[in-house]
Structure 1
Amino acid sequence: MLSRRGLLTLGGAALVLPAGLSACSGGGGGGSLIGSGGANNSEEGSGGALLNSEVPLPDPFTVVLPVPPVLQPVRKDADTDYYEITQKAAKVEILPGLWTEIWGYEGIFPGPTVVSRRGRRTVVTHRNDLPVPVSVHLHGGRTAPEHDGYPTDVIPARGGAADGSREYVYAMEQRAATLWYHDHRMDFTGPQVYRGLAGFHLVHDDAEEALGLPGGERDVPLMILDRSFAADGSFRYPSVDPTLMKTPGVTAEYMSGVLGDCILVNGAPWPVLDVSTARYRFRLLNASNARRYRLRLDGGPPFVQIGSDQGLLSAPIEHEAIEIAQAERFDVIVDFSGHRVGDEITLVNDHGSGGTAQVMRFRVTRQETDDSVVPDRLADVETLSDGDVMFEREFTFARGGAQAHGMTLWTVNGKPFDPQSIVARPKLGATERWIIRSQNVEHPIHVHLAPFQVVGKDGNDDPGPFNHGWKDTVNLDSGGRAEILIRFDGFRGKYVFHCHNLEHEDMMMMANFEVV
């Protein structure tokens, strides 16, 4: 068994991997693992393999949808809100009658929602009371590099010699948007997010609030994800090292991704939400490790999309169904005014089968007046063009190009992640064209710091129906291609971009860029 400092073979040449990756076969036999859990699971519509629960799962639509609590600041001053979060283990009842240990922000799953105001700094002090190191990434945040949650910038585990806390400073110089925060530890992001380390972070501003969109109890964040459960009620995940202390990775058959058989929304299995005959704003987040969804309201109205990863669109877009990959966010309005009390509308997943084909249910229980509106014009959104482009780069995300002790790694341009290697040095303020290609399975690609616009998809000169507005994550089918125009504003420094299939990310599908 080789350490990450051990020797890898790359086309006959020698390559040294960064510290931390054990180049074992992931529990499988020798030889290349391409094809071992690497093909699409066509029934589930996602790359990866289905991991079945060892306990009976509950009937759907019997649990009330929980909404994560909003975290209150511990203090404020003229320009900053200060928060404190402790990451700790807790036992919670996810499946009725069973207790599941989670690793949660403030010991809950999902973590508490942080709400920020554009132009006011947010400072969050995270204390680590878990037995492993952690790193916190504000996904979608325009954040200085030292506060971005770089994979090796970890908060030590409890009981270590160093203080197990870290202060993250967010300038919040960005538009209103639905962001989220999650663990980003080197090699172990997948299992640590799977155990519960994820939460919403919402940004508000005056322009958005002036629109008259649904608010208050009708503004509902929905974190959608899949999990499997072991016989004792714990989360079932195929880690090579269940302690998450030494050897990263999953067993061979799950190298392409882990698909759970139980759909959770805000931590509850197939929940139900009582609604009135009014408009609701739902902030959809796919927080799954490897599963993507095709969401549709069975027996209900269409979705009216008002926002994307990085905030409001210029105008609403109507969808009968929405394709949402890992880490993507869709801000949508659903109008229940055309329904009667007693109607039930099911949010389904057309990519799923059996239990994974259903997500949650809305139950119309009351009539209410509604003074919310959805304006025809939402926001002034700058459109990037070819004339803005200063440089062009190409990146291919695929399985292959590097092996470790018989294990074929996930790579970017044929190379595994190395914290010391920089693949691009864009200039601060520059706009670049990146051409991103996907092989083997689907790859949702996330770029830290820099928002982008999709200008071409799969050979077409348009972004496709689900890539409007400013994005930070773009989904590619196997063999897919996207052209993005990306602007590097805000900060100089080193950041990563990577596949947000977390099993791929942990198995080296990540690279560095440095804004200079």
Structure 2
Amino acid sequence: MSRDPDVIRRRILQTAVVGATAVVVGAESWRSPDAPVSATAPAVRAPSPAPAPALGLDKFADPLRIPPVRRPRGDGAGLTIRLRPARVRVHSQLPEVPMWTFDGHFPGPTIEVPRGRLVRVTWQNELSGAIPLVAVEVPAGDGDPPKNHPGRDGADPVEALAAIPPWTAVHLHGAHTGGGNDGWAENAVLPGAAQLSEYPNDQRAATLWYHDHAMHLTRYTIMAGLAGFYLIRDPKEEDALGLPSGDYEIPLMLCDRNLDTDASGRPTGRLLNKVVLRRPEPKVTSEFTGPYTMVNGVIWPYLKVKPRAYRFRIANVSNYRTFRLMLLDENGEPAMDAVRLVGTDQGLLGAPVTPADAIPLAAAERADLVIDFSRHRDRRLRLVNVSPGVAPGTPDPDGGVPEPDVMQFRVGGGSPVAFAPPRPSSSSSFRRMTPADVPADAQRRWVVIPPPGASPDQPVNTMWEMEEVDPAQVAVPGPGIIQISLADGQVRTLRRAAQAYEDRTGAVAARGQWETWHFLGLTREVHPMHIHGTAFQVLSRARIDRGGYNDSTGGTTTPLKQVAEEPLPAWEQGWKDVVTVTGGQLVTVAARFDHPGRFVYHCHILEHEMHMMRPFVVMPHEVMMLQH
């Protein structure tokens, strides 16, 4: 199928009746679990066509909604956040729809706390009724399964969803806190009860976010509205970078969503979780992607800005979609010279960085950006999702992006105020780590992400927790046995030690000590891997020749070979808590665990979470010694 921008545009418009009563049904070809997906593929830099109404709703019709702010006062201050039903309007052409929210808002209130100030939050469950969305599983058939189209496509709602009680466990994503406060997925509470959590906030200034983490349910409950921002502030470091603040600092929570339709095919506003049923028994479904992009709970909003710099705290809370964010000017040309990356998941960089291309943001990743509008007075700019290999701002229905626009910035008049970032300051605590900074006795851990169906009892995406063994102790080749030849020429033999969430917990980390985690991707999908309770830095990303892996045996017949190191882009050189792992890559991170307790690490694709989650324990080193 042609990927020429004009041909794609015509195909979109030929299927549309443009206007408030029309629905555009964009085409999306299904991408198999092993289809190549890249978060960093270069985009074709060509002008994009002018935007047009699409998918039954006018773009840029509604102002961006800014969540309310809650600032606890005093060390040890208490804060109560109520989880409750509410009706939310996601577009002015749609009626209000039911959602589950924090304090009646989607996103929930932005909680702001100073670094080092203890806060105790009561997450009060006042929810009622069934999860407020429609879930359908469309059988796969001939042609393109329409998971990226509005409407149910004749599929009946999943009946089991109506019987699920409002059972929630709130996780503060990125928080350094004890295991008892982390929002353990099975320690959920029912309506009338509360979850009590304590957050020391003894960590770098960063953009965190909170969300429901109840076992088996996050792919529905986050979509239903249970997410919000949590900002840790450090004036010393933030002021040193001269960052915009007050009215010029705005959180942006991004997600893709789908909507149910009425008998005439018009969107109703009701949230729709539509996936493709790839295999009925045992059940295997596709990951969710939707044709509508929401920012702070509004579909394709606009924001009026002054010709000056603004700071945007951006979080991707999609189930699966990776956004590749690019700013375009009025002519559809990239305007990335106005963008500065100042921070990543877990805090600020030492100095702002000007991105050379689109900024990838996988599920659960965050970016701290400054956009300088001073040279765009009285103009309109667009933030778009750039599809790999397609001109920026152009629809890519074949690649699952029927509408690339994210939001619009309307720059006003007045005197421009340019952003003049200072040089790196000694007040910055950021230091870029290298492998030499990791202690020689650091614990080494291995996690392998095999292709779906690597085990007969696991037809879905899964991951293997590995242990290094003497090759003389195992049968090579054999199921679950992976050998890999590293750059230093050493061949390491790995044996699968655990796979399912309920398997024995074998990973025990010593509190306060460094570890290196190696994620080896053998599938071709991008998996955003999240480790709870810590921050890490990505030490390296290397290409692997996976030719030695045998799908039929579920192991290697010859050692995998490390081919070459790949340079780390700016957005991977800061402190992180999510790292993307692509097939044919070995990704190594360094982390230190300072808080004891029981935690998990998992893929943050919400449809993968159930089968790609494993527990680990952090305990004092002295306690660990008692086991010997």
Query: TM-score, normalization: structure 2?
Result: 0.68
Instruction: Tell me how many residue pairs correspond in the alignment.
Output: 453
8 Å CA contact 1:100, 1:233 repeated in 2: yes
TM-fit CA distance, 1:371: 8.1
Equivalent residue, structure 2, for 1:187: 216
* Mapping of residues 75-474 of structure 1, within 5 Å: 76-77=73-74, 79-95=75-91, 96-130=93-127, 131-156=165-190, 158=191, 163-211=192-240, 212-231=242-261, 232-238=268-274, 252-254=284-286, 257-299=287-329, 300-302=335-337, 303-319=339-355, 320-341=357-378, 343-351=379-387, 353=396, 355-368=402-415, 370=417, 373-377=420-424, 379-387=428-436, 388-389=438-439, 390-398=442-450, 399-402=452-455, 407-413=459-465, 415-419=498-502, 421-438=504-521, 439-459=523-543, 460=565, 462-474=567-579
Aligned 8 A contact 1:71 1:113 in 2: yes
Moved more, 386-395 or 181-190: 386-395
Structure 1 residues 224, 36: closer, same or farther in 2, change over 3 A?
A: closer
Deviation at 1:126, TM superposition (A): 0.7
TM-score scaled by structure 1? 0.82
Instruction: Tell which deviates more after alignment, 368-377 or 292-301.
Output: 368-377
**RMSD of Structure 2 on Structure 1 (CA):** 2.7
Q: State the percentage of identical aligned residues.
A: 33
Deviation at residue 227 of structure 1 after TM alignment: 0.4
Match of 1:511 among 589, 614, 625: 614
Which of 1 and 2 has greater Rg? 2
Counterpart Cα distance in 2 of 1:385 and 1:273: 40
Are the equivalent residues in 2 in contact too, given 1:109–1:198 (CA < 8 A)?
Answer: yes
Code of the aligned partner of 1:100 = V
Counterpart Cα distance in 1 of 2:182 and 2:417? 40
- Contact kept in structure 1, 2:37 and 2:526, CA below 8 Å: no
Aligned equivalents of 1:57 and 1:402: distance in 2?
A: 43
Looking at structure 1, the residues matched to 326 and 252 of structure 2 have their Cα atoms a distance apart, in angstroms, of: 14
Aligned residue identity for 2:208: L
Q: 1:103 to 1:56 in 2, by over 3 A?
A: same
Letter in 1 for 2:346: Q
| 2:108–2:229 CA contact under 8 A, matched in 1 | yes
Relative distance call for 1:239 and 1:167 in structure 2 (3 A) is: farther
Q: How far apart, in 1, do the equivalents of 2:613 and 2:256 lie? A: 23
Contact persistence 1:412–1:510 (CA under 8 A): no
Amino acid at match of 2:239: A
Deviation at 1:401, TM superposition (A): 4.4
For residues 209 and 418 of structure 1, do their structure 2 counterparts lie closer, same or farther at Cα, with a shift above 3 Å needed?
Answer: closer
| 8 Å CA contact retained: 2:511, 2:596 | yes
Unaligned regions of 5+ residues in structure 2, if any?
1-29, 42-53, 128-164, 262-267, 330-334, 388-394, 466-495, 544-564, 620-628
Q: Which amino acid aligns with 1:445?
A: M
* Partner SS for 2:273: coil
Which residue number corresponds to residue 64 of structure 1? 63
In the TM superposition, residue 394 of structure 1 has moved relative to its aligned partner by 1.3
Instruction: Check if 1:497 corresponds to 2:497.
Output: no
Whole-Å separation in 2 of the counterparts to 1:465 and 1:472: 15
SS of structure 2 residue aligned to 1:426: strand
For 1:253 and 1:169, the matched residues in 2 are separated by 37
* Deviations, residues 393-417 of structure 1 (Å, cap 9, x unaligned): 211123334555x853523346543
Per the alignment, do residues 57 and 188 of structure 1 end up closer, same or farther by CA in structure 2, a change over 3 Å counting? same
User: What is the alpha-carbon distance in structure 1 between the residues aligned to residue 353 and residue 572 of structure 2?
Assistant: 11
Deviations 1:181-229 (A, max 9, x none): 0111111111111111110000101312432310011111111100001
Q: How big is the shift at 1:370?
A: 3.8
User: Aligned partner of 1:94: which letter?
Assistant: V
Runs (5+) with no aligned partner, structure 1:
1-34, 47-54, 241-248
Q: 1:140 to 1:422 in 2, by over 3 A?
A: same
Instruction: Name the CA distance, whole Å, in 1 between partners of 2:79 and 2:324.
Output: 35
Contact 1:401 1:411 in 2 (8 A): no
